[in-house]
Amino acid sequence: MARTPSPKKRIEELRAQIRHHNEQYYGSDQPEISDAEFDILLRDLRDLEATHPELADSSSPTEAVGAAAVTTFDPVQHRVPMTSLDNAMDESELRAWGDRVSKGLGDQPVQYVCELKIDGLAISIRYENGVLVQAATRGDGKVGEDVTANVATISSLPKKISNAPEVVEVRGEIFMSIAAFQKLKAEREAENLVRIENGRAPLAVPVNPRNAGAGSLRQKDPSITAQRDMSLWSYQLGEVVGGPEFTSHHDTLEFLRTLGFPVNPEITIVDSIEAVMQFCHSWQERRHELPYEIDGAVVKVDSLAQREQLGFTSRAPRWAIAFKFPPEEKHTLLRDIQISVGRTGRVTPFAVLEPVFVGGSNVGMATLHNRDQVAAKDVRPGDTVVVRKAGDVIPEVVGPVLAKRPKNSTPWVFPTQCPCEVKSTLVKLDDVADTRCVEPMCPFQRDQRIIYFASRGGMDIEGLGERTVFALSDAGLVVDVGDLFSLTVEQLLTLEGFAELSAQNLVASIQASRSKPLPKLLTALGIKHLGPAASDSLSSHFGTLDAIASASAEELAAVDGVGGVIAASINAWFAVPANALIVSKLRDAGVEFGRVVVSTLPQTLVGKAVVVTGTLANFSREGAEEAIKARGGKSPGSVSAKTFAVVLGESPGASKVTKAEQLQIPVLNESQFEVLLETGELPN
């Protein structure tokens, strides 16, 4: 049994680890662990030092801010130290800080300024007589790096300010927007594909906006920084000579605005810790609405006199605290890369991970998208990787932590054979990123087609989930979706997990699906490129499945929302003999081929496209879309210039919200949506 190290030895180990990770994060912009894992190390050290004060050391990382400036740039001595903030990891710690503030002020009334905690790089920007003369990183709080030439390339930063004090030092956060990060990432991945084709090693792909932004700011060539589209939010004054007198923090923010500096519009003043908590929780839920990344909220006492009274600890002000949101990125081991085959034969690589808790749930697998993405990111089995799960999206492997890559690592090679029993050759067409299994009898495709047919978006057959489909397929009871309707209770009872009642319920659910409307049936067939919206249009236009099957490509393409690609795919599907057999089985089973539901509701939304994102209280997602369609409207899955309005529920898709804002499309809440359904007009 391994011995537990002594407190002294453990403290020494933690200090060494934290110094190393500080250097990787602040000095090299190449962190080896996530922020959450670093916070745990720092907390462990603080707890041990508090328990063993005899082991205190003024040089401990708990007494320092950031890391020492590196030698890449000239050092800059901060005239006013740039302190860090203590963190509150949950509500109880935030309330405890509020209690300390109240106690320190003798129960004076307190106003708090609540700000978003931008996930970027702290910066000090100095102006003398209105001219930008110096910009420096925080460094260790006392000495930073001179990055003046690079900061001067930020378009939102004024290079000269009028009516300025003799000296004004502006402090803020330099960051890379999500759009700028995605652009940089895509460019690097595209460059890597070219490098791989030419036999050269791929370059590291930035894993998040913070690291990409920090690396961009430290470029020796300022023209490279200028290409990266960096941004700034200013949030504080440092040294000021000859300026006005201030009594509150929000006065200083207003002063920064008048000088032309960008100040975040989401800053709020509140008068209780309860209101502070509401601000923090609200933005924790809404963080993906923003076009930039935040990792928490910052809370400050507003009164400058009260700040003076509260003072500082050795490393942080007592009058401010950072409330950290749960992490959406973690580091874990990539055990293996495997592939899955979908209903259309598309082959998707996925990561088998050492399970890790991230974004509110345990993650053991994550998508890798396609073979080009694996190559461009250069992730390999055995790597320590960054895993991200923002909101409710599918977990994604962002990239490797190169500093932890095993020395004998080799690039992963995409398989050339399908893992199914047919062992067909996998094909990658030159003009697309997807790799496909083109063998129609591939059992993986067969099973996924049946699963899709039974899904909520298709025939919505309750009780026919993935596990049951696999069992039916393995037993040879179902070869295609047409076989579902001949299943009997007796056959189901031969499968493990089925009892009399569950078998009867499944057979009843399958039989009930025979009367589903034509758009549901058409979508459930799983024809490539054909989704619910085009299925609705085709059903309304042609009236029956037979009419759609016999229509020419030109006739199909002429239907609103269909076009040439979908039309060609429909023609190709019905021309396959195996698919013709499925249609025949469905017909023999009594599945309705011509049930088109005609709405009797007022057609208030004819010609209008309404996008729904997030969770509504009185509508399911499908229910909201059906309500729009029943009134003559369309409910596409994405926002475009043709969108009439966007309906916003809880936990909406960030990209849809951002796109609506960019295109200035009206955004409605649920009650406004109900007015729109009734009147067809935007509420006042």
Closest alpha carbon to 261 in 383, 170, 137: 170
Q: Is 81 helix (H, G, I), strand (E, B) or coil?
A: coil
* Beta strands at 346-358 and 361-367: parallel, antiparallel or unpaired: antiparallel
Quick: pLDDT tens for 183-225: 998 898 889 888 888 888 888 888 888 888 888 888 888 888 8
CA angle at 374 for the pair 371 and 375, rounded to the nearest 5°:
90
Question: What pLDDT sits at residue 430?
Answer: 61
Quick: pLDDT tens for 525-540: 999 889 888 898 899 8
Least confident of 297-306, 312-321, 353-362, 604-613: 353-362
- Which amino acid is it at 89? M
Question: What pLDDT sits at residue 488?
Answer: 95
398 token code pair = 């962002």
pLDDT confidence bin for 72, thresholds 50/70/90: low
Question: What pLDDT sits at residue 425?
Answer: 86
- Residue 385: is its pLDDT beyond 90? yes
φ and ψ at residue 101, rounded to 5 degrees: -65, -50
Q: Which helix (H) or strand (E) holds 234?
A: strand 230-241
Quick: pLDDT tens for 535-571: 988 998 999 999 999 999 999 999 988 999 999 999 9
The Cα 262–Cα 277 span in angstroms is: 26
180 token code pair = 């700028």
If you average pLDDT over residues 497-508, what whole number do you get? Answer: 94
Give the chain's end-to-end CA distance (angstroms, integer). 71
The Cα 25–Cα 10 span in angstroms is: 22
144, 75 Cβ separation under 8 angstroms: yes
Closest alpha carbon to 551 in 565, 570, 534: 570
The Cα 513–Cα 505 span in angstroms is: 12
If you average pLDDT over residues 483-499, what whole number do you get? Answer: 93
**What residue ranges define each of the domains in the chain, with the CATH number in brackets?**
7-63 (1.10.287.610), 76-324 (3.30.470.30), 329-406+416-428 (2.40.50.140), 443-588 (1.10.150.20), 609-679 (3.40.50.10190)
79, 237 Cβ separation under 8 angstroms: no
Question: What pLDDT sits at residue 1?
Answer: 46
The DSSP-derived string for 88-139 is E-SHHHHHHHHHHHHHHTTT----EEEEEEESSEEEEEEEETTEEEEEEE-T
Least confident of 55-59, 266-270, 412-416: 55-59
Q: Which helix (H) or strand (E) holds 607?
A: none
Q: Beta strands of 420-530 (E only): which ranges?
A: 426-428, 435-437
- Residue 30: is its pLDDT beyond 90? no
Measured CA to CA in angstroms, residue 146 lies from 83, 650, 675 at distances of 18, 44, 56
Quick: pLDDT tens for 583-619: 999 999 999 998 887 778 889 998 899 999 888 888 8
| Catalytic positions | 117
The angle, 0 to 180 degrees and rounded to 10, between the axes of the packed helices 443-454 and 466-474 is 140
Find which of 311-325, 361-375, 482-496 is predicted with most confidence, using mean pLDDT. Answer: 482-496
Quick: pLDDT tens for 410-465: 999 999 898 888 888 888 866 566 788 878 778 888 899 999 999 988 999 999 99
Q: Which helix (H) or strand (E) holds 470?
A: helix 466-474
The DSSP-derived string for 359-401 is TTEEEEEEE--SHHHHHHHT--TT-EEEEE--TTSPPEEEEE-
Distance of CA 449 to the CA centre of its chain: 28
